[in-house]
Structure 1
Amino acid sequence: MSRLILPASWPAWLFSAKTFLASMLALYVALAAGFERPYWAMAAVYVVANPLSGATTSKALYRALGTLLGAAGSVLLMPLFSDSPELLCLAMALWTGVFLFVSLLDRSPRSYVFMLAGYSLPLIALPAVTAPGTIFDVALARTEEITLGIVCASLVHALVFPVRIGPALGAQAAGWLRDAGLWAGAILRGETDARATLERQRLAADIRAMDMLISQLAYDTAVAGTTRLARELRGRMALLLPLLPSLADRIEAVRAAGREPDGFEALRRDVLAWIEAGPGADASAADRLKAAIAALEPQGAEAEHWDGLVLSSALERLGEIVDVWQDCRALQAQIALGDTAKPWKPVFRQRRVVAPARHYDFALLAFSVTSVVLAILAACAIWIATGWAEGAGCVIMTAVGCSFFAALDDPAPQIRGFTVWMLVSAAVSGVYLFAILPLVHDFLGLVLVFAVPFLLAGRLVARPQFTMLAMLLAVNTASFVGLQASYSADFAGFVNGNMASVAGGAFALAWTLLTRPFGAALAARRLVHAGWADLAATARGRRNDNAEHFAGRVLDRLGQLVPRLAQGVADDVAAADLLAELRIGMNILDLQRARPGLPPALRASIEPVLEAVAATFGERAAAGKAGAPVPRLMGSIDRALQTLAAVPDHASMRPALQGLVGLRRAFFPGEPAPSGLAQARFRPAIAAE
């Protein structure tokens, strides 16, 4: 019996069919219930639909909350300023701007609540501006109809062939580990230049993308219990980013010294074979690898020499990577299976994982929001000055278009597409309203005539590169048709209303081209400079920080920088290696934590190191470009190493030695070993990065 072969695109068509089914269900219920604008319920389905069932549920909840906030704002502000159009416009623009700013700060699916709350106010309030006494009824109707649409979307996507987030997250994690394995393989073979800086940094961007999926796990009832496992996985994957380049540096240093111990190359081959074996690797292989790592640890006088110290650091990094990789495999498998009953115990316990901290460029965010506020005010001014009867539609689409794409460095291309597809929607709606719908006499006929365009739109929504524009095409077409219980169409009113909406998109485009010409280059440059300033402040002790949150900020900057690097930024920005700066920052924090517990003389030897590091990054931030370390940095590191190595063992000195060795290797990898280090009278701990 032959097996049925489904086309590769069938999940996208299934998603489209489910979305269309939900939209028709919402439309049917809205018509049966006698809602004034049933097309709002239909349009709401396409706004919240997502190929993943949990994502649909979360977006539905967020849309409901955002609509409630926008409706409440319209009910609050309209009576207050109904007699003063100018003040109403100012209040409306400020409301939109404040909520948009909050949404830009959130940067998770939850941000949709605030963005929607911002532009829902003009969407609800402005159509009622000539009859302010009806604003409560309008707001209530809007809320009811949108709630109906999102309930239908959530139910259909949750009950009809639901697509779970867990397997998608597991597959994404497996792909990430596969790419990280290629990098690890190059390092273990000694091919330290096998992966370009940008390719390594893309792994950080992929982790940032995983945060979006993790935030939606709680809304997928089948795998809601895996949220904690997903966060543990994300933290360990992020930890590999500083561990792998640290291992690469140590292997290079061991090989360059010409004193590679017997068995070290064989150990690297065994670790590589274990990584390449994937999830099917022998469960006991990791324990054998860790035993082999311990057997190569330098002993006696060798451990006090610079070469022994570097070898010990390489072995420590190798052991940590084996433990982290073991955890990642176990977590990825449990998430993919949705297995919450099986208890999970971490293997890696040496340090805390990377926290999901964030970096914000408040100046650029404020500039983007201010541009949106001024665009709304300018559109309102044109509306009031001209007395344009349909001018409210222009203001509404200006607010929607500017808000939707405010987070982009260069929103103009997206707003241009938004406007063009709005024009297409108007044309399609005109054909339906005046040529097709007059021939339809029952709901089944309505379903049949809507099937082709909305199924095609749903198919495009499932493709990430077209999601936003296809969603807007479906929503605008449903809204422009303006389907109601009984057929009525006024050609002049249709043209005037739709052209006002298109004019709003065109005005948003013109305003954006005028006020936001900078593109990705400015944002990328500011991200790199912010990293230098962060390192300088950390070295000076001006941040009450910890390693987990510092690493989280650096990785978040990386996640923001990588997409911009493909957009033609300056060469000095493209060459920036934030992973190297992450290693430096972790060493700085080692010194900062160790310094208070050291005797005064030893503490005094570390302070010049921190001053020189702060001066190095302070000069880079001030000059706006990378430069060589300040001349005194290497000497201050070497003197501090010799001072700390020349005194009896003290527990509080070990983190300080770790930080100093890490800084020495990060800034001066090609320089000879510090003189006098071989005379250390105790075996220091390994260098941690």
Structure 2
Amino acid sequence: MMQWHRLRFPIKLTFAIVLSLLVGFHFNLETPRWAVMTACIVAGGTAFAAGGDPFSGALRYRGMLRIIGTFLGCFAALVIMIATIRAPVVMLLLCCLWAGFCVWLSSLIKIENSYALGLAGYTALIIVVSVDANGSVLLAPQFAVERCSEIIIGIVCAILADMLFSPRSIKQDIDREIDTLLVDQYKLMQLCVARADREEVDKVWTGLVRRTSALNGMRSNLMMESSRWQKIDRRMRALNTLSLTLITQAAETFLIQNSRKEYVPSQFHIFFDKPVQNIGDMHKRMKIMRRVITSSGSKNTPVTIQNWVVAATRYLLLLKGIHTNSSISRIEQEVLDEEPVVKMRSAESRHAVINGVRTFVATAVGSLFWLWTGWNSGSGVVVMLAVITALAMRMPNPLMMAKDFLYGMTVAIPLGSLYYVVIMPSTQQSMLLLCIALGVMAFIGGILIQRRQIGTLGALVGTINILTLDNPMTFNISTFLDNALGQAIGCFLALMVILLIRDKSKARTGRILLNRFMYAAVSAMTTNQARRRENHLPVLYHQLFMLLNMFPGDINKYRIALTLIIGHQRLRNAEIPVNADLSAYHKQLRHTADRVIAARSDARRLHYFLRLLAELDIYQQKLRDYEAPLSVTEPVHRLALMLKKYQNTLVQI
């Protein structure tokens, strides 16, 4: 039997669609279906991405992105039409170029913000195509204003529905996750100290990396809810770094344990043998551990365990403030201000170019074919090409999203025919019956959407689109068939574009990510205090998470990346001798490592990589000459050996 909370989203979606329909007809909007479609897309798309009823704030945030994208697209459409009003072909091609540019740019920014740019790209094309289809360019300003106003109405209805039907706060989920995450960090350290099976440790490492990334995403959702969570947001940013530090220190403990006997003294083996069940047990274990470290002395305590205990203690300090949302204390402030976080550069530049080219080529060819043939369904084909290539390209699996649209639009033809030919003509004289008819479809669609049933969202949106819902209502079968066929054919052609214009940038992106890990480890060899204080962990683990998603079954790439992250952290804290000779050589190492990343051919990349290996050998000799301690020479030697071992992977992935 379905639980009642599973019905909350279908009711919310039904309310948003019916309310937008009522408002659209009440104010005599020219095309109220845009308001209905917007409410459906904003509410349904957010739930489909969340796999259920979205958390509070997520729907509002998506609505704001849609408003921004719509206004930007309308403005771009008006500028293009004013500049090229006497050249329809140039006008359409410029709109296609604008759509491609927006998709390219959206592929380089954060995925949660990319929706606005993708929408801005295809909104301009929709307006120009619709005006051309109606045969009056003078209607463009009116058309843009109507689209903006109707979309705002749809978004307001979706947000109102979200507010009325008990929005789900993510705060309780965060409170539970931060507790269990620390307990599982302790269990990982237990496995590493006990020299557990490598595959078991890899599985736990991977799980903790994914959960830490998910927790950081929860922070973004929490900030969408309300500005009163600002203090928690600051704490969770620091907590993200601490969680990654715990993973790194545990992983390094495991690597050293397997290469050096008796790295962890017996008293720490005894300590980590005892299980921990909850956060209360963690408080007790950390108190005992701090006493053990104090009594043993720092020289008798492995540096990785000492760093792990420091990070876990700070984690517990911030955890209490996240639970209570209390004022930030002086001690917490010191933890929050400790290290500036480095921002990440996108590694998907080639992928972004391919995405932009796909959108431009698909829409340009579709537009030229439509102008040449004058096909009635051509405008619908161009619109669907723009929508799918703009939205699907930023998804992890664009092909699957294109298939989802195609399946949905195929289902929309018989479903829309039933409504258009039988149900809606019978309810034309009654707004109540029309609302009930659309409400039943929305409710059933809402149940399937939160289950992520493939094709459901496309079928719901496609059906609403081909029903036209004009004011006043007219039932022209030929217009209906043109719209339905245009949608389906447009989806099929978009799928063909994705299949024909192959994205071969996956291997290149993976190589760039691995080389960036290498560069991070090399650049950690510095005596510049400002550079040493920079916190690279969030960026490095974000790139590691990307690597996991791109190559989910390749555990070797994961191990290489994790080992390089460990090397970066160890070298960052190493006591490198301070002198002009080493400082100058650090600059030379960074320059060579940067050339490895920037090289455009395998031959040049191999040349600079071999030069880097030779320079690392010279650097190790310099460290011996300057009598650097083991804490410096050991990680440098380990880094050089690893780069030699995985040379083929780093150069010719």
Contact kept in structure 1, 2:416 and 2:466, CA below 8 Å? yes
Instruction: Summarize deviations over 1:285-331 as a string: whole Å, max 9, x none.
Output: 42332121122225xxxx5xxxx6xx542442332243244246435
Say whether residues 1:563 and 2:569 are aligned partners.
no
Aligned residue pairs, count: 624
Choose the corresponding residue for 1:317, options 307, 314, 317: 307
Say whether residues 1:644 and 2:627 are aligned partners.
yes
Contact kept in structure 2, 1:38 and 1:484, CA below 8 Å? yes
Instruction: Summarize deviations over 1:123-181 as a string: whole Å, max 9, x none.
Output: 22211122110111111111111101111111221232111132234445455445544
Instruction: Summarize deviations over 1:416-469 as a string: whole Å, max 9, x none.
Output: 221221121232111101111122132222232223321122223324x448x5
Contact kept in structure 1, 2:34 and 2:151, CA below 8 Å? yes
Say whether residues 1:265 and 2:253 are aligned partners.
no
Bigger mean CA deviation after superposition, 17-26 or 240-249? 240-249
Letter matched to residue 372 of structure 1 = T
2: CA distance, partners of 1:291 / 1:620: 55
Return the offset for 1:586: 3.2
Matching residue of 1:524 = 510
Say whether residues 1:450 and 2:430 are aligned partners.
no
Return the offset for 1:657: 6.3
Letter matched to residue 568 of structure 2 = G
2: CA distance, partners of 1:405 / 1:621: 35
Return the offset for 1:215: 2.5
**Structure 1 runs not aligned, ≥5 long:** 1-6, 646-655, 670-689
Instruction: Summarize deviations over 1:557-613 as a string: whole Å, max 9, x none.
Output: 1121111223x6xx696465211111223345457x956xx2346768989998998
Matching residue of 1:481 = 467
Letter matched to residue 280 of structure 1 = G
Bigger mean CA deviation after superposition, 412-421 or 54-63? 412-421
Contact kept in structure 1, 2:17 and 2:439, CA below 8 Å? no
Matching residue of 1:514 = 500
Say whether residues 1:118 and 2:121 are aligned partners.
yes
2: CA distance, partners of 1:173 / 1:532: 31
Return the offset for 1:484: 3.1
Distance 1:523 1:435, change over 3 A: farther
Provide the alpha-carbon RMSD of the alignment.
Answer: 3.8
Letter matched to residue 551 of structure 1 = L
Choose the corresponding residue for 1:139, options 137, 140, 144: 144
Matching residue of 1:374 = 361
Matching residue of 2:649 = none
Matching residue of 2:281 = 281
Matching residue of 1:663 = 636
Bigger mean CA deviation after superposition, 38-47 or 171-180? 171-180
Share of identical aligned residues, percent? 18
Return the offset for 1:54: 0.6
2: CA distance, partners of 1:608 / 1:60: 49
2: CA distance, partners of 1:576 / 1:627: 22
Letter matched to residue 37 of structure 1 = T
Say whether residues 1:24 and 2:18 are aligned partners.
yes
Contact kept in structure 2, 1:100 and 1:118, CA below 8 Å? yes
Contact kept in structure 2, 1:606 and 1:640, CA below 8 Å? no
Matching residue of 1:436 = 423
Matches within 5 A, 1:525-674: 525-532=511-518, 535=521, 548-566=534-552, 574=557, 576-589=559-572, 598-600=578-580, 622-623=605-606, 630=613, 637=620, 640=623, 643-645=626-628, 658-665=631-638
Contact kept in structure 2, 1:239 and 1:354, CA below 8 Å? no
**Structure 2 runs not aligned, ≥5 long:** 47-53, 643-653
2: CA distance, partners of 1:351 / 1:344: 12
Instruction: Summarize deviations over 1:647-680 as a string: whole Å, max 9, x none.
Output: xxxxxxxxx86443433455669xxxxxxxxxxx
Letter matched to residue 23 of structure 1 = I
User: In structure 2, the residue corresponding to 1:195 is in which secondary structure?
Assistant: helix
Matching residue of 2:63 = 60
Contact kept in structure 1, 2:380 and 2:486, CA below 8 Å? yes
Matching residue of 2:296 = 296
Contact kept in structure 2, 1:410 and 1:516, CA below 8 Å? no
Letter matched to residue 190 of structure 1 = R
Say whether residues 1:235 and 2:241 are aligned partners.
yes
Distance 1:344 1:384, change over 3 A: farther
1: CA distance, partners of 2:128 / 2:330: 52
Matching residue of 2:651 = none
User: In structure 2, the residue corresponding to 1:516 is in which secondary structure?
Assistant: coil
Matching residue of 2:91 = 88
Matching residue of 1:672 = none
Choose the corresponding residue for 1:418, options 391, 401, 405: 405
Contact kept in structure 1, 2:350 and 2:505, CA below 8 Å? no
2: CA distance, partners of 1:174 / 1:85: 61
Matches within 5 A, 1:287-366: 287-297=287-297, 303=299, 311-327=301-317, 329-330=319-320, 333-334=323-324, 339-340=325-326, 345-346=331-332, 352=339, 355=342, 357-366=344-353
Contact kept in structure 2, 1:16 and 1:456, CA below 8 Å? yes
2: CA distance, partners of 1:125 / 1:492: 22
Letter matched to residue 232 of structure 1 = A
Contact kept in structure 2, 1:247 and 1:318, CA below 8 Å? no
Say whether residues 1:47 and 2:41 are aligned partners.
yes
Contact kept in structure 2, 1:520 and 1:564, CA below 8 Å? yes
Matching residue of 1:97 = 100
Choose the corresponding residue for 2:29, options 1, 20, 35: 35
Contact kept in structure 2, 1:393 and 1:501, CA below 8 Å? yes
1: CA distance, partners of 2:556 / 2:499: 24
Return the offset for 1:118: 1.1
2: CA distance, partners of 1:186 / 1:499: 59
Q: Give the TM-score normalised by the residue count of structure 1.
A: 0.80
Return the offset for 1:245: 1.1
Contact kept in structure 1, 2:69 and 2:116, CA below 8 Å? yes
Instruction: Summarize deviations over 1:64-99 as a string: whole Å, max 9, x none.
Output: 111111111222222322321221122101211222
Letter matched to residue 77 of structure 2 = S
